[in-house]
Amino acid sequence: MPYDDWLTEMKKFINCSFALLFIASTCFGYSNKPPTRTGAPGVPDQGQNCLSCHGSSSSGTLVIHNLPIQYKIGQKYTISVKLSQVGRQRWGFVLTALDQNRNRAGILESVDDNTQVFRSGERQYIGHTSGGTAVGKANSNTWIFSWTAPQVNVGKISFYASGNAANNNSWTSGDNGYKTQTTIEPEVIQNPPVAVTQSVTTSEDKPVTITLSANDADGDELTYTIVSQPNYGILTGTPPNLIYTPNNKYAGNDTFSFKVNDGTIDSSIATISVFVVTMVEIYDDNLKLRLESVLGKDSSEKVTNLDLSQLVGKLDASNSNIRDLKGIEYCINLTELNLSGNSINDINLLLALNKLNLLRIDGNPLTISASPIIKRIEARGIKVVYDPIPSSEKLIGDVNFDNEVNIFDLVMVASEFGKIEENLKGDINLDGLVNIFDLVLVARNFGKSFAVAPSIVQKIRLNSAEIQNIAFAIDYLKLNNSHSDAEETILYVLESILTKTLPKQSRLLPNYPNPFNPETWIPFRAAKDGNASVTIYDINGTIIRLLPIGYVLAGNYLGPDKAIYWNGKTDAGEYVSSGTYFYQIKLVDYTETRKMIIVK
């Protein structure tokens, strides 16, 4: 070989020897900071690991210990990496944690001097320090550090680690590189199911289908449980498919509640609100047409108290030939009402409209009985426009001339029932005889007076002839199985005086007078001995008065001396305002609810 060629080859050998010596001194452990060769995909690792510089894996192992199978968001964990190979005496490792998008996942932290944390780009790494190479330690070495899971769910997280088990000869010969990867899942968080509240509307005595509703974010199958039953109705069916049936003649608000379970967790309790509305009977066709027009209903649709309560502001029903105002008492949110130019003579029901600012009733054939009602309306600050009313007119039905029509007047007329004579006090319509028409005229005017009615406390005393006439009136009424409200009131009051037989079934009867102010009587029949009580509710179903009756014997409690008396006050001793109220009797195994109206 020529000398020049030999010299060139020697230079190459010397340069290569120095290069290998450098590599051996640095590639073993990178004791200052190990390289980013965890075996992770993407930049900067690019899948490289310790095997890239050191020998291939041998009989040893590289294991990541104490990783959770499922991580909790924000939870801190103590983790260890153990590198083992028999006969090795120096050790190194590097580790990183990445999410599914190859981004940094969580926070790595050193807990002693054997590890160090560093970054390359957006990734974070932890690896051995110079002291952490454990020079001279035979067969294995373990590094301990902490990892804090991300503060949000990032899905699966993979831990990539690479290690070098060296023989401490300051050269790569005899070294063995290892790599490992462990993937953990996020904790499965069980979301509680949600029971959904809802509102349902039905009418008196009409069952309504209710389908309970709930949802579950986890898609679990749900079971439904009724937590509390309704107070004024019954539930049938199997949840979630139910039928709510209101109590007989009940109108007002009711609620019940339920919850759901997903097999593990109960939901919060949800409330179902049931509005039992009253189907309003509007007797006057002209008033009915006017209200239907304003409500946007046709004649085939029923009008409810809820419908009428939604009429707000002004209602013009002038010059409509209206005679009977039945139904107007539910228009409680009107502020102006024009009834001019109609044929109205009974304005009692207007007392229920507390929000009026202006009321026009001029051009109507009002009688003297309207005067005290107008005064009460005006006392509320409501402007009332009306024509002068003659003051000499007699109150119809006021037989005993005490300026009110009550049970005494009814009894006086009934005591002359069937008589045909001139100048009979009970001949209200002046047709020369006392019959059912006279009784009805009295009953229709119950509660109308020129002065505040005093409490009726006297017992009614009758002679034998009067008793015979009242019995005749009762028999006459019983010939007809269908009675008007006035006839039913007459029958109940008169029977309370004369009946001696026990009722076959318990029954709550219409209060009298109705409408009333401020007091009324609530008659009832008891078929069994037992404790009895009456509860009075407002239109919203709130209890305002409890009237404990106590223990009663089977019998008829019809007259003012036996019927339940209510003075129109709440349990707090305050007079109630005008409006619709409900009274419910509980008598042994019998419960019934009826409606009454107070006007002031």
Q: Per-residue pLDDT averaged across 424-438, rounded?
A: 84
| Cα separation, 268 vs 259, whole angstroms | 6
- pLDDT tens by residue, 43-76: 998 888 777 777 677 889 999 999 999 999 999 9
What is residue 350's DSSP assignment?
G
Q: Chain-wide mean pLDDT for the chain?
A: 84
CATH superfamily of 394-498: Dockerin domain (1.10.1330.10)
Tell me how crowded residue 545 is: count the other CB atoms within 10 A of its CB: 19
What is residue 566's DSSP assignment?
E
Please state whether beta strands 270-277 and 107-110 pair in parallel, antiparallel, or not at all (unpaired): unpaired
- pLDDT tens by residue, 318-362: 999 999 999 999 999 999 999 999 999 899 899 999 999 999 999
- Domain boundary assignment for the chain: 28-186, 194-277, 285-385, 394-498, 503-600
301 vs 287 pLDDT, higher one: 287
Q: Is 28-186's fold the same as 194-277's?
A: yes
- pLDDT tens by residue, 554-584: 777 887 778 899 999 999 999 999 999 999 9
b/e code 34-48 from CB counts within 10 Å (16+ = b): bbbbbbbeeeebeeb
Let me know if domain 285-385 sits in CATH 3.80.10.10.
yes
What's the pTM value of the predicted model, to 2 decimals?
A: 0.40
b/e code 560-591 from CB counts within 10 Å (16+ = b): beebbebebeeeeeeebebbbbbbbbbbeebb
Topology (CATH level 3) of domain 194-277: Immunoglobulin-like (2.60.40)
| 8 Å CB contact between 247 and 232 | yes
Domain 503-600: give its CATH architecture: Sandwich (2.60)
**Cis upstream peptide for 518 (omega within 30°):** yes
Cα dihedral: 389, 392, 394, 400 (round 10): 140
With CA atoms as reference, report the closest residue to 337 among 346, 347, 345. Answer: 347
Provide the pLDDT for residue 22: 34
Class of domain 28-186: mainly beta
The pLDDT-based confidence of 272 (bands split at 50, 70, 90) is: very high
- pLDDT tens by residue, 220-266: 899 999 999 999 999 999 999 999 999 988 888 899 999 999 999 99
| 8 Å CB contact between 407 and 456 | yes
Q: What percent of the chain has pLDDT over 90?
A: 51
What is residue 304's DSSP assignment?
B
